[in-house]
Amino acid sequence: MKKSITAAIAVLLAFSLCVPAFAESYVLKSSGISFSLPDSWEAKDSKMGTMFTPPEGDVMIIFGETTGEEAFDQAMEMVGDVAGEVVPDLELDDGTELDLNGIKAIEFGGTGTSDGTEVFVSVVLMAGKGESMAFMFSLGEESAMNKYEPAMMDLIKSFAMEEDGSGPSSGKTKSRPQPRPAPQKGGS
């Protein structure tokens, strides 16, 4: 699987500048959606947004966002283009509506093969502020679903809509997840 995930990562990376390790909370600036991932996961810029991978590199999760009246169609087209390159035989289900801690979402799940390995794919589209839409594209080996279940459950529990859409980030205007400072332990 590492070969297929590595191939998928190579397709998705627009450039390979590693984002330094930082706190585990992030904010999608345009949509105002925040989330958390383990701080051991590496973040890299990709064609679609910011890609996160665990140290083992056997799963990837990409967060991105689009805006405007056609945000849903744009997000699905972007995900479809990349998925077509990485998992050419991908078949997604009809979708399931979700409520992620008050955020309206729809998830499309599916399976296919990447470099001859059976993989799962999940596409979650989340309604953000105004006409913004955030998306989460996940890809990994079928067996990795169980391995990362606790991290994925924590991720789902962490989704939140920031009050003003900016969160306590550094004020950068990039439309990719921005790190939030880690909470201070021990009383500050």
**Average of pLDDT values for 139-159?**
88
Confirm or reject CATH 3.40.50.150 for domain 2-166, answering yes or no: no
Confidence of residue 24 (pLDDT cuts 50, 70, 90): low
Rounded distance between C-alpha atoms, residue 120 and residue 25, angstroms: 25
**Average of pLDDT values for 74-102?**
88
| Integer CA distances (angstroms), 35 to 2, 18, 152, 159, 161, in order | 26, 20, 11, 5, 9
Q: What pLDDT sits at residue 51?
A: 92
Q: Is the pLDDT of residue 181 over 80?
A: no
**Average of pLDDT values for 71-92?**
85
Tell me the domain boundaries of the chain. 2-166
Report the mean per-residue pLDDT for the chain. 77
Q: What pLDDT sits at residue 180?
A: 42
Q: What pLDDT sits at residue 179?
A: 43
Confidence of residue 169 (pLDDT cuts 50, 70, 90): very low
In this structure, of 37-51, 70-84, 135-149, the range with the lowest mean pLDDT score is 70-84
What string of H, E and C letters represents the secondary structure of the chain? CHHHHHHHHHHHCCCCCEECCCCCEEEECCCCEEEECCCCCEEEECCCCEEEECCCCCEEEEEEEEECCCHHHHHHHHHHHHHHHHCCCCEECCCEEEEECCEEEEEEEEEEEECCEEEEEEEEEEECCCCEEEEEEEEEECCHHHHCHHHHHHHHHHCEECCCCCCCCCCCCCCCCEEECCCCCCCC
**Average of pLDDT values for 112-130?**
91
Q: Is the pLDDT of residue 99 over 90?
A: yes
Is the alpha carbon torsion for 120, 156, 29, 68 positive or negative?
positive
Q: Is the pLDDT of residue 182 over 80?
A: no
